[in-house]
Amino acid sequence: METTADDTTADGRAGTLVYRPARPEDDKALTGLDGSFTTDSVFEVTMTDEGFTIRETPLASPLRKVFPAEDDDTDDADPGPHRTVVAYDGDELCGFVEASYDAWNGRLTILDIEVAPARRGKGIGRSLMRHALDFAGECGAGHIWLEVSNINAPAIRTYLRLGFVFCGLDTSLYDGTASAGEQALFMARWLR
């Protein structure tokens, strides 16, 4: 893992949050962070002859999503510059963002961003995304790109507030997985 950013500290509501590059000793906490969410709406994808429409639709009852454990199927290809930034309050991991840069298209991809449930809504995700933006600037990225499930309405609303827009979808990406039936929405934020 490439880590070139310096540690930074920011005041948090429940103490002092430290943002720093991830270290090998963070691996256990990173894999143990609860990335589940509960939502009272989803972003419904409707295919049309001209393309697709996306609209937020309320649910009759809240939906709780727990993500399955991921396989560690590392790709043999050189992924380019990569950075994971963690947010800690003392010994407690509050969240992280993992991003990689592809020079061929000037894209910084957010591979994963998670905030502990008890820490959501307190600006940690926004600060982590700022660290990703800083990394994008260091790499010379022209845009940031991410993929999100259409049922993750809380994340989608956050990304929209952060300046991301919908740029595509894949209605079959999750077929054959525990998330079958969901659609993958792609979002981007242009930087120049």
Query: Residue 147 is which amino acid?
Result: E
CB 185 within 8 A of CB 156: yes
Rounded mean pLDDT, 36-60: 90
- Tell me what pLDDT residue 77 has: 58
How confident is the model at residue 108, as a pLDDT? 97
Contact 107, 99 (CB under 8 A): no
Within 10 A of 101 (CB to CB), how many other CB atoms are there? 22
The DSSP output letter for 67 is P
Residue with tokens 């910084």: 108
Q: Give this prediction's pTM.
A: 0.83
From edge to edge, which strands make up the β-sheet containing 184-190?
8-12, 15-21, 82-89, 92-102, 107-115, 143-149, 184-190, 165-170
Split at pLDDT 50, 70, 90, the class of 16 is: confident
Residue 62 near residue 43 (C-beta atoms within 8 A): no
47, 113, 142, 146 from 42: Cα distances, Å:
16, 19, 29, 18
